[in-house]
Chain A
Amino acid sequence: MIEVENLTRIYNMGKVTIHALRGVSLKIQKGEFVGIMGASGSGKSTLLHLLGLLDKPTQGRIILSGVDVKTLSDHQRTRFRLKRLGYVFQDYALIPELTVEENVYLTSMIRGTPKQEYINQTNGILKRIGLSDRTTHRQNELSGGQQQRVAIARAMVNKPEILYADEPCANLDSESSRNVLDLFKQINKEMQQTIVMVSHEEWHIGYFDRIIILRDGQIISDGPPPSINQGISRGYI
């Protein structure tokens, strides 16, 4: 599903050169719920941005669903993001002028899905995440947890091959965080949805099938949750 070889990302900021990622290689299989963890500045968001085609690597290769993304034009990358990837951001990133349902079905409209079909899809997913009574509400009428659930619905409505989540619980209280993580877990289990999520919260590890820990732009640990205890005890997270 996801194959990364020798991924390097260097930022040149004036006279300063930052090596955000240094030769990262990994493989993620379909249906995995992968957590990318690490301290601040470890390169976890950079890795997610590269995997999500929001940024381009300085060096290395990314293959998503068998497609070497290096070969894609900007237009093709946009279409790829629209049709095959889903995103949930830390700050929800909803469009404030749109209602809950409009935020959810916007990408379906762009994909050219017939209206009745995307309305049904939207209603279905909003019901599933428990927001069917908030369809005409706008962002400022929702709690943080509700907004993040809408963002998940938006990401999921088109059944993406891979769902990326960039610290989706960073702005939520623990109860809302738990609800959001439960939802991710449910989607992962029931729909065999591949999810790649960046987190720095220690207690999230129980939700992941697999945890990749980064430090200074390199993978220092990659495995199922039990083995992560070592990483934590060593202070990587």
Chain B
Amino acid sequence: MFSDLRVSFFLAVRGILRGSRGSLYLTVLIIAMVFTNMIFMPSIILGFIKVAEDQIITYQTGNILITPHEDEAYIEDVDELLEKVNHIPGVLRASPHYSTGVTLRSKGNTIGTSVVAIRPDDERLVTDVYQKMKDGYYLADGEKGEIILGIQTSGHKDENDDMGATLGYLQAGDPVTVEFTNGVSKEFHVKGIIETGSYYADQGAYITWDELESVYGKDINKASDLIVKTEPDAYEPDVKTQLYRFGVREKVQTWQDILTEAMGRAVQNFAMLNSITIIVSLIIAVVVLFIVIMLKTINSRKQIGVLKAIGVEKKIIINNYVFQVLILTTIGVIVGVTLVESMVAILTVYPFQFPDGEVTPVVATSDLINNTIMLFIVSLIAGYIPAWRVASEDILTAMRA
């Protein structure tokens, strides 16, 4: 058995090394391209999902989002809840948001939006919004009369970059009038403009908690939501369990829960797209390898007949071609991995620019392994069938070819 495989391998290596160079390079190139195609598209999709994950965690929900029960508008006794949450193992910091509808007016433009009251010192520990100041500065605790606007609310210099109604290109220091739902109208100065790449953050407007309390003329001890940053090594579902265990009665969702809720359908569609890409790639691989081996075996019919005549068993002849395919596939996969890694390296330096941020391909090890295994399986089939057909031919018929 081992001796037979050794002979098959011996013949396969000679067949490849001393066969047609053009055919060898072309076959390897096609396999490499097929492999690249199988890996690259999913890596871009993974990159998209990674961007969505990062943006949700960094600018929107933190690692965990606590929201009121469905039949309630706000989380009550938020200070008490904050105290509790901040002491739960795995929690780094929680930051409350109070969101209320407003009308913003400036430079003759009016837009309706929500303004979010934050506690800037807490917020700095929970989100990275403060690091994304395009103009001006971030808020500080206790500040009044200052507002921060997202770029999609303030507006771009080139309005073609705006994704909706804006205030017409405001900059730090510009005045903006804010009309609250309780009838209070107040003039603010734009303290800073943020540009995160996340539409959710970039269409927002932010004021301090103290400002909100002054607008309402009372202490505000409730929140629309509480965003929670966990310790770097914490596993969010465990922290979620801890939150419930420590008596948090509100709705607790990890970022994964939210992503699934928000992008579940999209992820399903991406998965389907992935599958279609992989199936088409595999069909191309099967057809190409089948044709290559078919041509090789047809051109070698006489030689196969001779081998059988001098006592070489059919399985040795078939395994010879199967080994050839496996060797070609191995080289193709190595070239493919090199191509993919090169493309990933280039696209990490020059990422794709999308409205929701910069997308770089993310190659999952499991995709590499799964696709390599699938490619090898189809290669085996594509190599075996034509080799079996020709090797099964009658000796004299093959020798007369």
Contacts and interface: CB of A to CB of B under 8 A. Distances in A.
Q: Which of A87, A106, A154 gathers most chain B CB within 10 Å?
A: A106
Nearest to B2: A112
Contacts of B302: 93
B6 to A, nearest CB: 7
A87 B14 contact: no
B308 to A, nearest CB: 7
Interface stretch (A24-32, A96-104, A170-178, A179-187): A96-104
A193 B335 CA distance: 53
A68 B34 CA distance: 53
A75 interface: yes
Give chain B's interface residue range (CB within 8 Å of chain A): 20 to 34
A96 B3 contact: no
Contacts of B108: none
Interface in A73-99: 75, 78-83, 85, 87, 89, 93, 95-98
Nearest to B307: A95
A93 B306 contact: yes
A159 interface: no
A118 B303 CA distance: 22
A73 to B, nearest CB: 12
B401 to A, nearest CB: 12
B10 interface: yes
A54 interface: yes
Interface string A41-81: 00000000100101100000000000000000001001111
Contacts of B18: 96-98, 138
Contacts of B141: none
Contacts of B17: 97
A82 B311 contact: yes
Given A109-B7, A110-B7, A110-B316, A87 B310 contact: yes
A88 B311 CA distance: 13
Contacts of A78: 308, 311-314
B312 A82 contact: yes
Interface in B309-334: 309-314, 316
A82 B3 CA distance: 14
Contacts of A54: 309, 395-396, 399
Contacts of B4: 110
A107 interface: yes
A223 B379 CA distance: 57
B264 interface: no
Given A97-B18, A102-B14, A138-B18, A107 B3 contact: no
Contacts of A49: 396
B285 to A, nearest CB: 25
Contacts of B316: 110
A98 B395 CA distance: 21
Interface in A101-132: 102, 106-107, 109-110, 112
Q: Which of B3, B307, B309, B314 gathers most chain A CB within 10 Å?
A: B309
B15 A97 contact: yes
Contacts of B395: 54-55
B272 to A, nearest CB: 45
A97 B14 contact: yes
Contacts of A75: 313
Nearest to A89: B306
Nearest to A46: B396
A85 B310 CA distance: 8
A81 to B, nearest CB: 4
Contacts of B173: none
A106 B7 contact: yes
B136 interface: no
A3 B236 CA distance: 85
Contacts of A82: 310-312
Interface in A217-234: none
Nearest to B302: A93
B89 interface: no
Contacts of A110: 3-4, 7, 311-313, 316
Contacts of A109: 3, 6-7, 10
Interface string A117-159: 0000000000000000000001000000000000000110000
Interface in B17-62: 17-19
Interface string B210-246: 0000000000000000000000000000000000000
B17 to A, nearest CB: 8
A106 B10 CA distance: 9
B309 A81 contact: yes
Contacts of B10: 109
B320 to A, nearest CB: 10
A112 B19 contact: no
A81 B302 CA distance: 18
Nearest to A155: B310
Nearest to B316: A110
A151 to B, nearest CB: 10
A85 B395 CA distance: 15
A54 B10 CA distance: 25
Interface of B: 3-4, 6-7, 10-11, 14-15, 17-19, 302-303, 306-314, 316, 395-396, 399
Interface of A: 49, 52, 54-55, 75, 78-83, 85, 87, 89, 93, 95-98, 102, 106-107, 109-110, 112, 138, 154-155
Given A93-B303, A106-B7, 13 more contacts: A78-B312, A78-B313, A80-B311, A81-B309, A81-B311, A95-B303, A95-B306, A98-B14, A102-B14, A106-B310, A109-B3, A109-B10, A110-B316
5 closest A-B pairs by beta carbon, nearest first, are: A82-B311, A93-B306, A81-B311, A97-B18, A97-B14
13 contacts: A54-B395, A78-B312, A81-B311, A82-B311, A89-B399, A93-B399, A95-B14, A95-B303, A97-B15, A98-B18, A106-B7, A107-B310, A107-B311
